[in-house]
Structure formats: C-alpha cells, structure tokens
A and B are shown apart, each in its own frame.
Chain A
Amino acid sequence: KQEVTQIPAALSVPEGENLVLNCSFTDSAIYNLQWFRQDPGKGLTSLLLIQSSQREQTSGRLNASLDKSSGRSTLYIAASQPGDSATYLCAVDTSGTYKYIFGTGTRLKVLA
C-alpha cells in the first residue's frame, strides 16, 4: 500500500531564504506526482505536476524534482516571501485514475 510522507512537518524561515520541502513515497510505481498549496478556507491549489517520465518541473520560483527509483520528490522555493506561507502537500497517483494519495503536509511560515 502506497504511503506518502513529508518532512519537515513544519518550517519557519526568514524572508528571502531558499528552501526545500521533501516528499517520500513507498511504492515507486507512480503515474503522476503533484505538489499543492493549501491556504485556510481556500481549498487546494495545484502548483506543479510531474509525470512519471519526467525528472522535474518549474514554475516561477518553484522547482519540483522527482526521483522514482529512490521514492522521493523535492519542492524547491527560491527567495521565499511571506505570501508563500501555507501548507504544502505532495500527492501521488499510482494508477492514472486521478485517485491521489496525499502526504502529511509541511506547514511553512515565512517571516517578514
């Protein structure tokens, strides 16, 4: 059974710092991996999607990498801003049916 874990559970950094959020999964047979941002009362927003054949995806200050063989993905946030404060979730689709298994999340706080 696929399990998704995220480390750290919480992170507090000063504004401007570059940071890395980690996601690990137990079964390397995944179809897609997505990183989401969750803001209170606003649901989830998809940030980046990496297909199983891809190694990384970039969007603005965000870069996500995928290493299926080791069961890991990282989300790199460059030059963090207070507006980046949110909970970040990674999720994996193991069957190509959009049935995602979510990680435990990393609660990020960027201090001004």
Chain B
Amino acid sequence: SAVISQKPSRDICQRGTSLTIQCQVDSQVTMMFWYRQQPGQSLTLIATANQGSEATYESGFVIDKFPISRPNLTFSTLTVSNMSPEDSSIYLCSVEGRNEKLFFGSGTQLSVL
C-alpha cells in the first residue's frame, strides 16, 4: 500500500487569499488525484495529475481556480486560489495503488472566513 503525507492538515484562511496543499507519496505513482469534500457531502473529483503533463480537470473545475503541479512521480500540489467561504471543504489527494485500489492522504480541512 502507498503511504501518503498530505499537509497542511487544516488551515483557516482569509477571503481572497490562496492556499497550497502538498501531497507526498512514498513510492512512484503515475496518476495522482485531487478530490474535494464539501460539508455534509461526498467526494468530488477535481482533477487528475500526471507527471510531465498538464492536469486534467473535471467538469466544474478550472485551472485558474485550482492550479496543480506535478513535478515528479512522488509529489503534487493543489492550490486553491482567490478563496471564498464556498471553498471551505476537505481536500484530499489520492493515488492508485496495488491491486487497483485507491489510497488517500489524511486530507486538508480548509475553512475560509
């Protein structure tokens, strides 16, 4: 199984600022995924990040709002830009692991005031 370190674990931010979330994996993986979990709701896929190419965004998510970097096979960042209270959510990174299972980081609890 993959061990994923995600940070920060939580943050409280002011409206209009940006926050960068980091995701570090203990092994090389091809695909990394970023999910959002809004309060009381289930997970929604934001984008898929492959090393060496631009991230692929799902419907309703755009690069200007959620820029993603994937500089190597063990690391990725997600930035939440120009934040508003509606961005208050848990953000999770995940990777494909052995036997096709998905492994998740512990998440970043973001509150925007």
Contacts and interface: CB of A to CB of B under 8 A. Distances in A.
Given A89-B42, A89-B43, A98-B31, A43 B107 contact: yes
B106 to A, nearest CB: 4
Interface stretch (A12-20, A72-80, A101-109): A101-109
Contacts of B31: 97-98
Q: What's the dominant secondary structure at chain B's contact region? A: strand
Q: What's the dominant secondary structure at chain A's contact region? A: strand
Interface residues of B, number: 26
Nearest to B4: A43
B104 A44 contact: yes
Interface in A84-112: 89, 91, 97-105
A41 interface: yes
A43 B92 contact: yes
For B6, B43, B94, B103, which residue has the most chain A Cβ atoms within 10 angstroms? B43
Contacts of A43: 4, 6, 92, 104-107
Nearest to A39: B106
Contacts of B103: 46
Contact of A98 (B4, B6, B33, B106): B33
Interface residues of A, number: 22
B111 interface: no
A27 to B, nearest CB: 16
Contacts of B44: 102
Interface of B: 4, 6, 9, 31, 33, 41-45, 48, 58, 92, 94, 96-97, 99-107, 109
